[in-house]
Structure 1
């Protein structure tokens, strides 16, 4: 029987190419915008206008609900932190899609307190750090990494982007939800081709792919209702939604499905790119790579510095729910505030030499996983995936280094999602 985790599958190259992913949604950029962002931040913490317009980049409508509204762009750590920590004024409901039934399509991503808090509590216990270090490692992460290391050990070369980073998160999440391993790529491919952001997919194909996703998940929910197992779907079936002023109740099948979609897509995408960014940083800073190999206590510092240096999702939007005075601007209700956490993570008012990757710098909170109400649900699982993955590479391939005969890797992608072009390495 084929091991789908370690098999050669052309879907990996289709689904895990950062540039291709950005081109598919229409937000690819091929310039380093950080120098211009530094100059804008030096002028003012907040600017009127979209960040893309301020940078002279082609337009891209990330959220349908943001189209046609006045935008403001926050660039400093202080301004972005204020936006993240005030969900009553700066709402996440800018995400999602308006529909005649008023259905929530993005789950907790488009909710504000108290609904957000109530729904998040139905799933968050499975994503706390003790669970990440125990249940997730035991149930998924460690076994997946072991099988991938065994596969790569058969050769002398690998592309860590496709052979390692892409495979760990998608199979971790798939297995944790309760799907069979061979459904992992099929699910991700179908979901990515079911959304309105997929420019190269016809409406008929979007609808067909949407049905594949829903049939897969609703079938799994029905199976787990009949026979619970040790997985996330079974956990959600036992959870109770406690909205203030309402009687506690079980989640509906569609609410469970929306939770599952979120963790499948977010967990299989951001973790893949961020793991690649961390490895790229270490492999191109050989002295720091050597320091981490010699003292594994530095690995957490390296992961946090990678998150600060190049967060894979560096820009977020918020809907302004009331007129507000904000860092020198009167922002009217109905506007959109763009929280530029990538530039905020390189704010020289907070970090010395912020463009440098330096695992030895003082540890300060960064915004790679957001802050406040919508701080990333899966951040603990992502940290454990990255830490266990890099540890396994260092343990098994002590001479790991970039392949000098292959194209040098570089950062690429869209303004709104960044990653590494590839990670060709020599294992011995």
Structure 2
């Protein structure tokens, strides 16, 4: 990747990495902080019948998953109840994310299948995302050089918007380079993918199809090239990985299966990490005493990241399909219903955390739900944590006096109910 690709000003950054614009394009933007209302609901009980949007009086036109349309929803708001659901994937299934028009035999995406099939596919790629690989291959192959070049770009500046000029760039180029795409394909791929799904409400069906075909052809061409000439990237890694599906002989992944894995990594890795890094910086810059603690003791960086994940997870709601009639925390829930698991509300459950609305890197260490729990715990969480730690460390080293720009509009948390991030991160670097 050339430096000018990584550091160039590209209008696609403004289009793809504006949290409010992202939510508006999906049709799920909310214009108020619903945290106090969530606390009131949780105090009345861990589970409530109905969609959270309906309960809160928010617009209900947005449907995150096609397979959830028309089903009875139940909203889950406590840590204990969410954990119970996550620990029972046989009863509370991730197949809510599947497209019901796709035959079951063709469903190979990790987010839409359950064990044992899920376990078999996850084993083909998970070793590359364990923490030793995140601290080794990922840092050496991608993260460190990207962070260094971005910091160098900022070194001549007095002020910057870290959301667009830093946080947005690290994950998307980390993933692009790791997959094996060229740097100048990173933004184009993300733009095409985000405009190829049913969530792209503001474009025509024909344009969505064109974008879908672009994504498919780009990845299929890459898989074919790596079969011909392997390199040190994720596609080449997957080409040689055996798949052991239950009751079948081991075999190599097909081109389509590799493409599905790569697509998930590209889209998830290039999106959630960007917003969560911004949330962590927003929280630290808003709490100067804790920022000073981290600057003085970098061992606290991991605590700061974990606290940001607890305090404001960028993807605060996950969904599950109920596979059989069941009693769940006082509700008789029929088969075919949908659970809305409130990871964000669970992370602020006062039964688990004192003063949960406060950002406090010194609070006792307890597991939070930002990356989910159990079978579908986020595949890329270790890489995301290393991206955030290395990125913020480098900023603090290069710009020890970094602070919010008093002449810019004050940043705030924004987005949809289902995805959160800062409005911007305008800072003075010196």
Shift of 1:244: 1.9
The correspondence for 1:279, drawn from 278, 281, 286, is 281
The correspondence for 1:207, drawn from 201, 206, 209, is 209
Shift of 1:233: 0.1
Q: Distance in 1 between matches of 2:152 and 2:272?
A: 25
Shift of 1:100: 5.4
Residue number in structure 2 paired with 1:298: 300
The correspondence for 2:68, drawn from 66, 69, 74, is 66
Q: Distance in 2 between matches of 1:2 and 1:113?
A: 43
Residue number in structure 2 paired with 1:136: 138
1:45 to 1:332, Cα distance in 2 relative to 1, 3 A: same
1:350 to 1:32, Cα distance in 2 relative to 1, 3 A: same
Shift of 1:105: 5.8
Q: Distance in 2 between matches of 1:422 and 1:161?
A: 6
Residue number in structure 1 paired with 2:54: 53
Moved more, 95-104 or 264-273: 95-104
Q: Residues 141-163 of structure 1: CA distance to partner in whole angstroms, max 9, x if unpaired?
A: 00000000000112111100001
Q: Distance in 1 between matches of 2:223 and 2:217?
A: 10
Residue number in structure 2 paired with 1:423: 425
Residue number in structure 2 paired with 1:410: 412
State the number of aligned residues: 428
Q: Distance in 1 between matches of 2:106 and 2:200?
A: 20
Q: Distance in 2 between matches of 1:83 and 1:54?
A: 21
**TM-score normalized with structure 2 length:** 0.98
Q: Distance in 2 between matches of 1:49 and 1:2?
A: 50
Q: Residues 176-222 of structure 1: CA distance to partner in whole angstroms, max 9, x if unpaired?
A: 00000000000000000000100111111101001110111001001
Shift of 1:96: 2.4
Q: Distance in 2 between matches of 1:222 and 1:397?
A: 44
Q: Distance in 2 between matches of 1:22 and 1:386?
A: 23
The correspondence for 2:327, drawn from 318, 325, 328, is 325
Shift of 1:131: 0.1
Residue number in structure 2 paired with 1:40: 41
Q: Secondary structure at the match of 1:330?
A: strand
Shift of 1:245: 1.1
Q: Secondary structure at the match of 1:36?
A: helix
Contact 2:193 2:215 in 1 (8 A): yes
Residues 190-229 of structure 1 mapped to structure 2, 5 A cutoff: 190-229=192-231
Q: Secondary structure at the match of 1:107?
A: coil
* Unaligned residue ranges in structure 1 (runs of 5+): none
Residue number in structure 1 paired with 2:247: 245
Q: Residues 111-133 of structure 1: CA distance to partner in whole angstroms, max 9, x if unpaired?
A: 10000000000000000000000
Q: Distance in 2 between matches of 1:241 and 1:3?
A: 39
Q: Distance in 2 between matches of 1:3 and 1:295?
A: 34
Residues 251-270 of structure 1 mapped to structure 2, 5 A cutoff: 251-270=253-272
Q: Secondary structure at the match of 1:412?
A: strand
Contact 2:349 2:356 in 1 (8 A): yes
Contact 2:107 2:113 in 1 (8 A): no
Residue number in structure 1 paired with 2:178: 176
Contact 1:104 1:110 in 2 (8 A): no
4+ aligned runs moved over 6 Å, structure 1: none
* Unaligned residue ranges in structure 2 (runs of 5+): none
Q: Distance in 2 between matches of 1:2 and 1:342?
A: 37
Q: Distance in 2 between matches of 1:41 and 1:291?
A: 33
Q: Secondary structure at the match of 2:48?
A: strand
1:341 equivalenced with 2:343 (yes/no) = yes
Q: Residues 31-56 of structure 1: CA distance to partner in whole angstroms, max 9, x if unpaired?
A: 11010000000000101111111111
The correspondence for 2:403, drawn from 390, 401, 404, is 401
Q: Distance in 2 between matches of 1:100 and 1:373?
A: 23
Residue number in structure 2 paired with 1:27: 28
Q: Distance in 2 between matches of 1:421 and 1:139?
A: 31
